[in-house]
Amino acid sequence: MKTTLTKAEIARIRSLSQKKKREQEGRFIVEGEKMVQEAIDSTFRVEAVYYRDDIGEETMQKISLLSSPSPALAVVHTHPQIHTTEPALPKGLCLALDGVRDPGNFGTILRIADWFGIERIYASEDCVEVYNPKTVQASMGAIFRMEVCYTPLVPLIRRCVAAGIPAYGTFLDGNNLYQEKTDLSETGLIVMGNEHNGISSEVSNCLNRRLFIPPYPIDAQTSESLNVAIATAILCAEFRRRQL
């Protein structure tokens, strides 16, 4: 038996494509059978699940935010988003994102952090929203296992340095990531910068560890820079390799 959604219900679900509506409703959309199951299995509260076989292809197209609707869609309650000026300091290895605006990059970084056992990401207030549909999809379920904390980064980094916690960033004049003499701590904060401008000057001035991801060969004429998500993966992989 088919489930019928009213025009008002369809409009409410579709409205969650807007950040303002997500914040007002405290809900966001998850699409894809695997992603929906991840939501069900997580600590997030799932309000409703809609299956194409139950509501029909036409209705699924109306509520989906994807160009090619998947067989399953869920409306999920947001976790109380942490916006704080004094978050807990890192335990173990954590990431900090300084002005990452692209939702695909943000979601991919969530997925990378999840793979490498990093449980917390600090994000500057000008980063893209974690519940943006493109961020959610790019995370491939990592959003349900990751703690994301929006906070001013400068005071956080200063607190880390004062507590003896290394705060890393990547720079052209940094220490070669792959040299064994370059210290990569088991507990620390890795700061990743904006897609176009890198780490802001205010944040870079607070960092006490400067790293460089070298091209190969070292003096090769290469692209100007790496994508922020790719750079994050390289850094996380090398930090974890050192800890094996």
Q: Which residue has the tokens 């094996």?
A: 244
Q: Which helix (H) or strand (E) holds 148?
A: strand 147-150
> The domain 7-77 belongs to what CATH superfamily?
Ribosomal protein L30/S12 (3.30.1330.30)
- C-alpha 100/C-alpha 47 separation (Å) is 29
- 166-214 pLDDT, tens digit each: 999 999 999 999 999 999 999 999 999 999 999 999 999 999 999 999 9
Cα–Cα distance list, 69 to 10, 30, 61, 64, 73 (Å): 14, 11, 6, 6, 9
- 112-139 pLDDT, tens digit each: 999 999 999 999 999 999 999 999 999 9
For residue 219, the model assigns a pLDDT of 78
For residue 1, the model assigns a pLDDT of 59
For residue 221, the model assigns a pLDDT of 76
Contacting residues for 101 by C-beta, under 8 A, at least 6 apart: 126, 127, 128, 194, 195
Average pLDDT for the chain: 95
Of the listed ranges 1-5, 15-19, 161-165, 201-205, the least confidently predicted one is 1-5
- Ranges of each domain in the chain: 7-77, 82-242
> Domain 82-242 adopts which CATH fold?
Alpha/beta knot (3.40.1280)
pLDDT band at residue 79 using 50, 70 and 90 as cut-offs: confident
Q: Nearest 5°: phi and psi at 72?
A: -145, 145
Mean pLDDT confidence for 142-160: 97
Q: Per-residue pLDDT for 33 more than 80? A: yes
Domains 7-77 and 82-242 share a fold: no
- Single-letter residue type at 138: A
pLDDT band at residue 218 using 50, 70 and 90 as cut-offs: confident
Q: Per-residue pLDDT for 88 more than 80? A: yes
For residue 216, the model assigns a pLDDT of 87
Q: Is cis: bond before 214, omega within 30 of 0?
A: no
- pTM (two decimals): 0.94
Measured from the Cβ of residue 18, the count of other Cβ atoms closer than 10 Å reads 11
